Structure 1
């Protein structure tokens, strides 16, 4: 995967049911605004709040209407469930599986390496590693990622650890053909400077056009890309670390995106949060 892929929000209606019509419309809108691929059932998709049947149908719906590649989130705490979800995603039309590090329990780097190799050995679609310590409470070290990149069916990684130094160390340990994607829009330009293939960023749901343009212009004018990236840091923080998925969906609705609502236990942003998000959006150049 190259370029920008949003970890696709899952639109829920006011009753908490998945709104597949809104999802279809959202896929079309994001494609028209320039995204290069789509990532249903990721962290921003509220995947842990979906039933297995909903996960499959969300991927299926996305793949049916998308003209860009679909990289589906399929990670679970255990290998057996991850295998099942990966094959279900392949049957639903995904061309790759984004597999988060096993969460809940603590695992050594050797355990993680063995888990990914066993998964990749039998998977019918390519595997992308996914390191997001803020949620999974564990991370893939650069040495582990570099070793796993030697597997013929492990072809890329989303790094959401927020450590550019570790990101560069990972880049130093993989071949150029390995897709190393950054998971934080705030450092997208810096990651591209280092050699990243692109990004899977929550902000791409809200400003797909800006992030796509940033990637496209980076090779010709990296300083301009860095300036544009700096202008997005504040709103990115607002709709990720500060106000979360409900804040992101609120911001998307303000821009006319069919984002729907978040699923409980998420609740709608407070009045002050909505005002803060709106103010930051209005400050963008």
Structure 2
């Protein structure tokens, strides 16, 4: 997976039911605006709020509709659920599996290594590690990630720590053949400078064309412009991740005409003041020359 990946928001209707028709339309919407690959059933997709059956339906629908590669989120807190979901994702047409660190209970780095090695041994799909300590309170450390990169079926990692020192260490330990993807949109250009293969960015649900342009500028050797564009996205990124979260992200998407649907309970909708602020930030991001 290279370039800009979209951790695809999952459209739910106002009652909270999965809206598969809107999901198909959303795939088309983000692909038309430059998405390089799609990531259903991740954190931004509200995967923890979906049943296993719903996750399967989402992956099937995205795989059927997408022209781009599909990296499906298959991680659960336990091994049995994770390997079952990974096998199901393969049957549904996913190209690879993004597997979050086991969460809820604390685990030693050696335990995480053993978990991922066993999964990689048994998985029918290539495995991408996923460390997102802001949500899980579990960090896959650089040494563990580097060791796991030696497994032939562990092909990449999404690092959402926002820690650029750790990111650079992972890149050094894992090498250039390992698909190291950043999950923090505010440091996208910096991560590309540090050797990232691309990013999986919540921001790319709202302004996929802008997030993709950061990558394209960097790939073309225009690093200064990539950093300038990324700097113009920082406040919008903060708004749709740290400040207003998924309800804010979906509100901004709807106001752009994207078929994002609504966030599931216990999330609540953002108020009009927040929507006005988000609209202003989107307009600023799209107006940058």
TM-score range, shorter chain: over 0.9
TM normalised by structure 2 equals: 0.97
Map of 2:54 onto structure 1: 54
Map of 1:191 onto structure 2: 191
Map of 1:91 onto structure 2: 91
Superposition deviation, residue 217 in structure 1: 1.1
**Mapped pair 1:230 → 2:210:** no
Superposition deviation, residue 176 in structure 1: 1.2
Map of 1:263 onto structure 2: 264
Which SS does the other structure have where 2:38 is aligned?
Answer: coil
- Residue correspondence of structure 1 range 265-280 to structure 2 within 5 A: 265-280=266-281
Q: Distance in 1 between matches of 2:24 and 2:284?
A: 30
- Deviation digits for residues 131-185 of structure 1, max 9, x if unmatched? 0001111100000000000000000000001100000000000121110000011
TM normalised by structure 1 equals: 0.99
Q: Distance in 1 between matches of 2:200 and 2:266?
A: 25
CA-based RMSD of the aligned residues comes to 0.8
Answer whether contact 2:207 2:282 (CA < 8 A) is retained. Answer: no
Which SS does the other structure have where 1:140 is aligned?
Answer: coil
Superposition deviation, residue 272 in structure 1: 2.4
Q: Distance in 1 between matches of 2:23 and 2:104?
A: 29
- Residue correspondence of structure 1 range 1-285 to structure 2 within 5 A: 1-219=1-219, 220-284=221-285, 285=288
Structure 1 unaligned regions, length at least 5: none
- Deviation digits for residues 85-124 of structure 1, max 9, x if unmatched? 0001000000100000001000000000000000000000
Structure 2 unaligned regions, length at least 5: none
Q: Distance in 1 between matches of 2:175 and 2:184?
A: 22
Superposition deviation, residue 282 in structure 1: 3.0
Q: Distance in 2 between matches of 1:214 and 1:108?
A: 36
Which SS does the other structure have where 1:180 is aligned?
Answer: strand
Q: Distance in 2 between matches of 1:278 and 1:37?
A: 26
Superposition deviation, residue 32 in structure 1: 1.0
Which SS does the other structure have where 2:124 is aligned?
Answer: coil
Q: Distance in 2 between matches of 1:29 and 1:70?
A: 15
Which SS does the other structure have where 1:146 is aligned?
Answer: helix
Superposition deviation, residue 212 in structure 1: 1.1
Aligned length in residues: 285
